[in-house]
Amino acid sequence: MPLVAAAVCPHPPLIVPELAGAAAPELAELRAACTAAVTALHTAGAGTVVLVGAGELTVELDLPRQGSFAPWGLPLAVRLGGGPAPADPGSGDDRLPLSLLVGAWLVDRVVPPASVAWRMVSIGSDEPVDRCAALGAGLRVDGPWALLVLGDGSSCHGPKAPGYDDPRAGAYDEGVARALADADTDALLGLDPVVSAQLGAAGRPAWQVLAGAVREAGGDWRGELRHHSHPYGVGYLVASWSRPAGTGGVGTGGAAR
């Protein structure tokens, strides 16, 4: 069944206002852009939304799943999926990768979780390009569906950045921004895993899952870059991908432009 829309959002813990404290207004524009991108998935008519973000392993997580921002200083629990809550949420086998924890928080504040079906996929941070693309192409969902892709850009913007300063960071994130704005799957699949790791770009594998899914879906796609900044030395990119009215196609394998 057709992939109808996709959203790309970053996953900084400070996107949660209660965690950011006095710095919360600094990320107000980022927060608003993420809200708009996630809302667009719901309004596109998706009956299922698949969250994809980097984690230690490549695996689809069983739902319900509950995580907590406690490791980042806020005892705020976030839950996704119906049914009984885990006995010990946010720990052990039920612990969520940060990318999916932030994704669940975005979903919880924007779209009533009971209004659509949800799935969560963790993609290993060291997965090669072909496996990321194959994972995206192999997603099978009943009915119209959408992707919520969680990933940060380079963490090397400036001497105070978490990954320290690297002069390649600006050009790297500008290239990702152009690819997201143009719905350019070729450019996303062209991101080098080694360079991406050197620049601390946590979003690389998830962006390539997106590219694989869109290539498999085929048809024409339109991109919109909603936000691009690096206020704390980490690249934050927000984008929406959609199908223009009246387009479609399955399994063409071609690049979206």
Residue 255 domain flag:
no
pLDDT of residue 250: 38
Query: Which tokens in the block code for residue 35?
Result: 């809200």
Is 251 part of any domain? no
Note whether residue 257 is domain-resident. Answer: no
Let me know if residue 252 belongs to a domain: no
Amino acid 249: pLDDT: 45
Average pLDDT, integer, range 52-72: 93
Structure confidence by residue, pLDDT tens digits, 99-121: 999 999 999 888 776 778 999 99
Specify if 216 maps to a domain.
yes
- Over residues 131-175, the pLDDT tens digits come to 999 999 999 999 999 999 999 999 999 999 999 999 999 999 999
| DSSP structure class, residue 256 | P
Domain with 237, as residue range(s), is: 3-242
**Which H helix or E strand runs over 9?**
strand 3-9
252 band by pLDDT with thresholds 50, 70 and 90:
very low
pLDDT interval class at 245 (50, 70, 90)? confident
Instruction: Report how far residue 24's alpha carbon sits from residue 18's, in angstroms, rounded to the nearest whole number.
Output: 8
| Radius of gyration, CA atoms only, the chain | 17
Total tally of structural domains belonging to the chain: 1
**What's the pTM value of the predicted model, to 2 decimals?**
0.91
What are the start-end ranges of the H helices in the chain? 17-20, 28-43, 98-110, 129-137, 169-182, 185-189, 193-198, 204-217
* Half-sphere exposure for 114 (CA within 13 Å, toward CB): 2
3-state secondary structure of 86: coil
The model's pLDDT over 7-51, given as tens digits with 9 standing for 90+, comes to: 999 999 999 999 998 888 999 999 999 999 999 998 999 999 999
Q: Which of 82-96, 100-114, 191-205, 209-223 has the lowest mean pLDDT?
A: 82-96
Closest CA to 176 of 123, 137, 127, 225: 225
CATH of the domain at 67: 3.40.830.10
Residue 94 has pLDDT above 70, yes or no: no
Cα separations (Å) of 220 from 3, 175, 205? 12, 21, 23
* Residue 207 in domain: yes
Establish if 194 belongs to a structural domain. Answer: yes
Would you state the pLDDT for residue 86?
53
Look-up: residue for tokens 């984690």? 55
Six-digit token string for 243: 């199908």
Domain assignment present for residue 31? The answer is yes
